Amino acid sequence: MKENKLHQVIQKLGKGINIKMSKKSIKNQEDRFLLELIESLCEIEALTMGVSKAGVNLFEYEEKYLTVIKSLIDKVYGEKKGNIIVWWVFESITENDKILPIVDDDEKEHIIKTPKQLVKFLKRYDGK
């Protein structure tokens, strides 16, 4: 949506105009991308769990795709954030629908209930 607005501004001002995004805009765009990525992974996991409860096991089929996705997440966000994201999406909710806490570097427990909360939590590891 923002890119569309940027494109409209460029069209109105003419070619040769160089518009630079602020650091804050770039960071917001990156946060939105991460949020959408985590939400998509959550949707995949929810669908997998639904199919699994119906008696269909997709683990072997999905495993290679998830390995590739995990590798890409690690490459873009770093191994620490990648491990947290993958654990939260695929392992933080028990069979009884209990949310397991994430334990940070200071041994403090955090209950993360939404992808938005996870993105906010991950900011503490920016630049590390």
Q: Say what the pLDDT of residue 49 is.
A: 85
Domain count, the chain: 1
Residue 16 included in any domain: no
Residue 99 included in any domain: yes
Residue 77 included in any domain: yes
5 pLDDT higher than 80: no
Q: What is the DSSP string of the chain?
A: -HHHHHHHHHHHH-TT------HHHHHHHHHHHHHHHHHHHHHHHHHHHHHHHTT---HHHHHHHHHHHHHHHHHHH-HHHHHHHHHHHHHSB-TT-PBPPEE-TTS-EE---SHHHHHHHHGGGTT-
**pLDDT tens profile 50-100:** 888 888 888 788 889 999 999 999 999 999 999 999 999 999 998 888 999
Residue 2 included in any domain: no
Residue 65 included in any domain: yes
Domain of 104, in residue numbers: 22-125
Residue 98 included in any domain: yes
- pTM confidence score: 0.78
Residue 32 included in any domain: yes
Residue 100 included in any domain: yes
